[in-house]
Each structure stands twice: as structure tokens, then as C-alpha cells.
Amino acid sequence: MGYKQELKHPFFVLVWFGVSHTVPFILSNESKCGTCIQNTGGPAVMVWGWVIVACATMLVGLAMAEVCSAHPTSGGPYYWAAMLSEPGNAPLASWITGWFNLLGQVAVTTGISFGCANFLSTVCTFNTSFIPTSRTTMGVYAAILVSQGLINTFGVHLLKYLNNISVWWHAAGTTSLVIAILARAPSHQSAEFVFSTFIDNTGVSGSEGWGTRASHAYVCVIGILMAQYTLTGFDASAHMTEETHNAAMAGSIGIVMAIGVSAVLGWFLILGLLFSIQDLDNTVASSTGQPVAQIFLDTVGNRGAIVLMVIVIGAMYFCGTFSITSNSRMMFAFARDGGIPGHEFFRKVDSKRGTPVRTVWLACLLSFILGLPSLGSAVAFSAATSIATIGLYISYAIPIALRVVYRKRFVRGPFHLGAFSIPIAVAAVTWIAFIAIVFLLPQANPVDSQTLNYAAVAVGIVIIYSVGFWILSARKWFGGPVSQIHVTVDWNELPSLVVIEADGRGEDDLRS
């Protein structure tokens, strides 16, 4: 791929399947989004929305896996965009894709680790007089990010073992949790309630919901946010390919397996939680602030709930840790190609540990900053999930779309979709265009400073920054992915008719 091997690579496909399997995994993401989902559509949207989103996301994953197999580098989508564009457009495509991917990566870490802080604050209220505030939760969030940064700095040699633990923690934790709440629940909801009950609690402060003001279809559409956000972050396998054996297949298999396993176990957990609800109104309006925690309390009691909460918190912590791992690799690769301010500083790899320590802490810092609006807005956390979804999926869509438009430039890797390649790619881009619009829409009525969907603001800032910076400055110096291979050539011995080209650059460029 033209890059010097700087990162250590002791990992195999199963290990980094674990990373991609962990980052979007159901225990972490669905649990902390429970309040939103039980207000926007209820059980019916949770159950059937999950199925629809899982199928659509698999199409996106297959299209990405095909491109990843052809171009397995830490840069992931922004590198693919450059390779699949016409040479003259490659730098711009790479630049825009890179900044959207960076935004999404940071927002994913924010969503996961801030959710972990919320759940940790909630479990601390069980059998105690502790009352969490936004400031105490922010302090817990900062401590979690620092600990995850330390693991990625000093414990990189342990990551493959921690990841194996994480895989089993998620799989066994999901199964045990569902069996426990179903077995101990005093009563169970009916199949009619689980599969066909529609709920619209999108109105706040006594206002009517969007179902009345607009339509029930609108509520259903915005209700799929949890499912779509949960099934994201699977580009983690792509960002880890430079540290994985058999990279051209490992990254692709990791992407597809992550979506497939998460989809199946996720639906299993959704059904278990819904069948175990004892009192819907009490669950939604839980004094704990977490509907999932209330389900635990109602089914297995206080002590059992603590155990189940520990399972969920552990899953969230693992997710956040490996999200930072993936995030730091993307930032390192982007800095290596000169794509972020201070790139000469952030492209350095710790020679002793073989890990990009500086981008590890950059990822932690940016994730903390993105979480700060939660101090003043009740919907800032939901906005973070929207930002993660929009940012990442736009960065997925650009290289997939370029693969369709410039199909002759695509050189297939060992993982290929054959005759289904173009139809799947087109379907994937269409779905992404749909969700990119959906997650900019307001989720609560009325819309004010406390209920505004700030995802539109954040995405607008990224568009203005990336496009504006490109026009004013970056177009003059950012050339896209930069080859690091050095070759010694005696130009006098070359035949006069030989023309050397690399990424569209001619002999004069190579001389310089």
C-alpha cells in the first residue's frame, strides 16, 4: 500500500473481529438509548425497526468489506476514497471523507463512554443516598476516558487479550442477562404488546407528540436511531488492518461478522427486555433515569440488578476502550498523510510500544469536548449518537459511491461480491442518503434550546470547516495519501521511452 510498517501487528482476524464486534455491540449502545426508543415508536418500532436496519446495514457492510479487501490500510474510508477517485479529484474526496470519519469516530467514543458514565452514576444510587448531577457524571466521564487512554498507551500489548475477554463478556453477558430477566420476571408482556404496540411520547412539557403534529410514520422513522447507531463503528476492523495478519481478508470478515452477530444477538436482547417489562409507564419514567435499569430492578431485584448493571457497564467500558483504539489509528493514518493540523506531531508512533500514543490522547480529548454540551442540554447525548451515525455513514458512502462511479478504477481484492457488487453498492448509498437526512430531524416537540437536535449544527460545522479550509488552504498542500516507500534510481540508466507513474504523478514529481 506504500506505507512503512510502524504499528505492531500481532493480531488475527478473530481478535479484530472482536473490536469491530465490540464497538457497535448491543449491550452498550441499546441500553443507554432506552429512554429515547421507548418514547419514539415503542416496542413495535424497536422490534421491526431493528430488523429493517440490520438488513440495510448488512448491505453497507458488504459494500465496505469489498473495498476494504482491495485497500487494507489504517486510513480506511478516506484512503479508499482517494484510491477510487480520478487522480485530480482524489485529494478532495480523501479530505472530505477523512473529516467526516474523524467526526463520527469521536462521536462514537463520546456516546459509548458517556453512556458508561451515566450507567455507573445510576448504579451508585442503588441502596445509597447518592444523587448524580450533570457535573458529577461529567467527572466520571472524564475519569473513564483517562483510564481508557492509559490502557491504550501502556497496555497495548494486552489489547488482544482484553479484546478476547470483551468478545466473551458481550456474548455470555447478553445471553445470561436475557435468561435472568425472563426467568425471574413476575409476569411477561404479551406477544401483541411486543410486536405491535406503538407509542408516541415525543412531546415534552405537555406538548403533543410528533405523531399528532406530523404523522406516526415520522415517529417510526426517527425511532430507528438506536438501531442504526448501535449497528455502526464496524469500520474498526478496517482501521486495524495494518496490525492484522492476512489483512486483505481479515478486515472484510471482521466487518461482515460484526454486523451479523450484533444483529442476531441484538434482536434477542430487544425481545428479552420487552417481554420482561412489568409496568411500561413506570419503566419509561423510571426514577433511575434508565429504563433498562428499571427493568432489571423489577425482574431480579436490587442485588440482581446490580450484577446485571455491572455486566452492562463492563460491556460499555470495553466498547469505549476499543473505540479509542480504532479512533487513534484513524487519526494517526490521517496525520501520516498530512490531513489534520499538527500532523507532524500526531503522526509519531511510540517506538517502544508500537502505538500512536499522541492520537490516543487526542481522541480522548476530543471525545470529552464533544460531551461537554450535555451539561446544558438534555438532548446533547442524543445529538452525539446522531453525529456518530451521520459522520461515519457519510464517510462510508463516499468511497462506496466512488466505487460505482469509477468502477474501472476498482481492482478487486480476495473478498468480492461478484455480480452483486454494483447493486449492493447502489442500495448501500441510497440507504445512507436516507438516514443522513433522518438523523438531522428534531426528535422532540416543541423544538427549543433544550430539545434542538444539535447534530445538524455539528455536521454543518464540519462541512463548513472541511470545505472552507480546503478552499482557503488545504487544496494547496494536501495531496491525499502519501507514499512512504523510498526507491533509489539511477536516472541515466533508464531507457529514454520509459514513463514512470505513481498515483497519477509523472517522472518530474518522482525526481523531486
Say how far apart CA 397 and CA 418 lie, in whole Å: 20
Q: At residue 425, does pLDDT exceed 90? A: yes
| Residue 134: band (very low, low, confident or very high) from pLDDT cuts 50, 70, 90 | confident
pLDDT at 300: 93
CA distance 43 to 194: 5
Predicted confidence (pLDDT) at residue 22 exceeds the cutoff of 50: no
Nearest Cα neighbor of 442 from 275, 204, 115 is: 204
pLDDT at 109 over 80: yes
pLDDT digits (tens, 9 = 90+) for 315-349: 889 888 888 988 888 898 889 888 888 888 988 88
**Which cell goes with 237?**
476492523
Q: Which element (helix H / strand E) includes 40?
A: strand 40-41
DSSP string, 132-193: --HHHHHHHHHHHHHHHHHHHHH-GGGHHHHHHHHHHHHHHHHHHHHHHHHHH-SS---HHH
- In this predicted model, what pLDDT tens digit does every residue of 242-289 receive, in sequence order? 777 777 888 888 888 888 888 888 898 889 999 999 988 888 777 887
C-alpha to C-alpha distances, 138 to 128, 455, 505, nearest whole angstrom: 20, 20, 49
**Interatomic CA distance for residues 68 and 240, integer angstroms:** 11
* pLDDT at residue 182 in the model: 95
Average pLDDT of the segment spanning 300-328 = 89
The pLDDT tens digits of the residues spanning 59-80 come to 999 999 999 998 888 778 988 9
What does the pLDDT look like over 255-268, one tens digit per residue?
Answer: 888 888 888 888 98
Q: What is the pLDDT of residue 73?
A: 80
- What confidence tier does 23 reach under pLDDT thresholds 50, 70, 90? very low
What are the sequence ranges of the domains in the chain? 13-477
In the DSSP assignment, the letter for residue 372 is G
Please name which of 136, 236, 227, 165 lies closest in space to residue 435, comparing C-alpha atoms.
227
pLDDT exceeds cutoff 70 at 141 = yes
pLDDT digits (tens, 9 = 90+) for 444-497: 788 777 677 777 777 787 788 888 989 998 888 888 886 555 555 565 665 554
User: What pLDDT score was predicted for residue 15?
Assistant: 47
Could you check whether the bond before residue 77 is cis, i.e. omega within 30 degrees of 0? no
Is residue 24 predicted with pLDDT exceeding 50? Answer: no
Q: What is the pLDDT of residue 336?
A: 87
Phi then psi dihedrals of residue 199, to 5 deg: -130, 135
User: What's residue 375's pLDDT?
Assistant: 73
Residue 201 has pLDDT above 60, yes or no: yes
> Average pLDDT, whole number, for the chain?
82
pLDDT at 512 over 50: no
Q: What is the pLDDT of residue 420?
A: 94
Task: At 114, list the grid cell.
Answer: 458517556
User: pLDDT digit string (tens) for 157-171?
Assistant: 777 778 778 878 888
Q: Can you tell me whether residue 309 is helix, strand or coil?
A: helix
Q: Which helix (H) or strand (E) holds 41?
A: strand 40-41
pLDDT of residue 27: 59
Report the C-alpha gap between 254 and 235 in whole angstroms.
9
Which CATH number is correct for 13-477, 3.40.930.10, 3.40.50.1100, 1.20.1740.10, 3.40.50.450?
1.20.1740.10
Which three cell numbers, joined as nine digits, stand for 146? 483517562
* Measured distance CA(368)–CA(290) in Å, rounded: 22
Q: In whole angstroms, what is the distance from residue 75 CA to residue 329 CA?
A: 8
Can you tell me the distance from the alpha carbon of 232 to that of 393, in angstroms, rounded to the nearest whole number?
A: 8
Indicate if the pLDDT at residue 402 is higher than 90.
yes
pLDDT at res. 92: 92
Q: Is 39 or 25 the better-scoring residue by pLDDT?
A: 39
Length of the chain, please?
A: 512
